[in-house]
Chains A and B, each alone.
Chain A
Amino acid sequence: MSTSFPFTLDGQTHSLTIRARRPALVVEVDGRCYTVSEDASGVPGESTLLIDGRPHRVARTRESDRVHVKLDRTTWSVAYEDPVTAAQHDAGGDDVLRADMPGVVVSLNAAPGAAVASGDVLLVIESMKMQINVVAHRDGTVENVHVEVNQSFDKGTELVSLHPST
């Protein structure tokens, strides 16, 4: 009963623990307890969620390690990593910058050995008819550039790798 589940919203991880199931479900989030009940609406993926007696309209769908949620009037994407995936990620790190979408390389602004700061434009790509800057997600030194100007790439392609952070 005391298993805790990590859910990450906008970079901040919250720890959820089920504290009671009967007579009502009680979920503890970061040390605060909430009484929860949920009624499915009959429409797949939609429900009414009561949290401490307050009703919320919910639609949601799970996609691998994320749960997409519309809660009342706003949309959120919440990350949930099961223990196995989390262990794999810990072994990998954040050294490789991959393409979010397919596209073509328009220009390269970084070469191996270059020192870059978080937010620096490493390369410019074109995708969905738009030119898009691909920026460094952390400070570091470029280890390798895996693409060339005018090269097409698919979603997930390695674009630039940084030397492992120390």
Chain B
Amino acid sequence: MLDSILVANRGEIACRVLRTARAMGLRTVAVYHHADRGAPHVSLADSALELHAEVPTAAYLDAAQIIAAAERSGAASVHPGYGFLAENGDFAAAVEAAGLVFIGPQPEVIRLMGDKVHARAFAAEAGVPLAPSALMEESFEAFLDAAAGIGLPLLIKAAAGGGGKGMSIVHDAADLEARARTAMSEAERYFADGRVYAERYVEQPRHIEVQVLGDGRGNVVHLFERECSVQRRFQKIVEEAPAATLPAELRARICEAAVKLATRANYRNAGTVEFILAPDGEFYFLEMNTRLQVEHPVTEMICGVDLVEAQLRLAGGEGLPWTQDAISVTGHAIECRVCCEDPARDFLPATGRARVLREPHGPGVRFDGGIREGQPITAAFDSMIGKLVCRGDDRTQAIDRAVAALGELTLLGVDHNIDYLARVIDHPAFRAGALHTGFVTEHADTLGAPVLDADARAAVVIAAALGVDDFRRLAYDIPEPYASIGGWRN
């Protein structure tokens, strides 16, 4: 059993991991950049060490400083969260070389799955279905020929990629060369690795992924699937578990494929195998994420487990906490990613200050947040500031609860997608489970902000006017009492 942990991350995931570690009685250590000194993860830990870097994100990417902080604080283990160094095999290796426990898979497994080309080859050997593809091996010209041979439409991706960077869909053969060159330059810029590959683009695909846990000795269990089909800019914004609709037989085959892949890799700790599901029921390996996923809470809510606790127990050498038979699904859960962005302007990231922040409450409602009221939202970090996760006895109840909770969730002072998320999950097509990764684009016309009638507009401007001193003074003779003015005074 581990007795102490350093969480090498920030924001909601650092808070999430720290909470479970504390509940288990571990001594907890946070790290932070100066820009985050007032962030909640810093005060949640028993101790916190500052990382120094000019650019805030660089601090959380500085493996040497983080390992030094772990050694200085006496932490016995390191949890990487997601993003930053979570899928960096060299970091995992360096943590282990320092005599610390890396809470995640073996470094060589991280490297294998992090290279999309090698991961695909490995999946093929494991008997996991793959979409027809072309790799760039010898010349650019040979790659173009091979890619053209797959048939259109095509998806071009970075070999070292993730998160939609360096990704492009080609519908017209005439665009292939230009798109491939753009993808290569983006791949070079984001990942310092210009290799790309092309694969058949499945029209109206669904994104289905399987949560797995392994003990590193070839024993693997799955915790069923999640559906993450609702995306914008190739990034997920709404996830759910189980999938919206999935025949039992197909679900069993997808989960089995994930277990097969993880077993062959002697997978250790928590991981996720992602698949593309075509409308005809064929599914193809997409990639394996060798870490805890952003959307892990939906699995926790339907399986009644704490995945971080399982991670810590596995890392402490306890073996798999459950047999496959002991894992079952009850109910349905939906997660909405709360991002500071403007859905009306192509999801342009927004900056500002979280002047008012009120989290929702209620049965089956969980809010995994990572900012506190008053905190600035800068361009230095990812635009996601929290996740609303709701569980229901069935999908409809989970949606109803999430819609109500989004209505209650209040964030003022920075643009955000909270209202937009409510419109997405309350949309008839979402409620019907008619999902695919182009959902947001397909329904753009009906996902816009509602048009208000004159009385509704009047209510909004009256509510706003009462927040303006000049107006209040005339309305009430006196300025608003300090007790009800709120954060805007400070």
Contact = CB atoms under 8 A, between A and B. Distances in A.
A27 B465 contact: yes
Given A29-B458, A61-B487, A75 B419 contact: yes
26 contacts: A7-B464, A14-B457, A14-B461, A18-B474, A21-B475, A30-B454, A36-B462, A40-B484, A42-B483, A44-B487, A45-B484, A45-B487, A61-B355, A61-B412, A61-B488, A62-B468, A63-B352, A67-B468, A68-B355, A68-B356, A71-B463, A80-B468, A100-B348, A100-B350, A102-B379, A155-B351
Q: How large is the interface on B (under 10, 10 to 19, 20 to 34, 35 or more residues)?
A: 35 or more
B467 interface: yes
Contacts of A128: 349, 379, 381-383
B422 to A, nearest CB: 7
A73 B450 CA distance: 12
Nearest to A66: B464
B463 A60 contact: yes
A61 B467 contact: yes
Given A30-B458, A32-B458, A5 B463 contact: no
A116 interface: no
Contacts, number: 182
Contacts of B470: 5, 82
A5 B483 contact: no
Given A63-B355, A73-B422, A16 B462 contact: yes
B483 A44 contact: yes
Interface string A33-68: 010101011101111010100001011111100011
Given A34-B458, A132-B349, 5 more contacts: A16-B462, A18-B471, A36-B462, A60-B467, A100-B351
B407 to A, nearest CB: 3
Contacts of A32: 454-455, 458
A3 interface: yes
Nearest to B381: A128
Nearest to A3: B474
Interface string A1-33: 101010101101010101001000101011010
Interface of A: 1, 3, 5, 7, 9-10, 12, 14, 16, 18, 21, 25, 27, 29-30, 32, 34, 36, 38, 40-42, 44-47, 49, 51, 56, 58-63, 67-78, 80, 82, 100-103, 127-130, 132-133, 155
Interface string B403-441: 000111011110110110010000000000000000000
B112 interface: no
Nearest to B485: A44
A56 B459 contact: yes
B317 interface: no
B233 interface: yes
B468 A69 contact: no
Nearest to A126: B189
A7 to B, nearest CB: 4
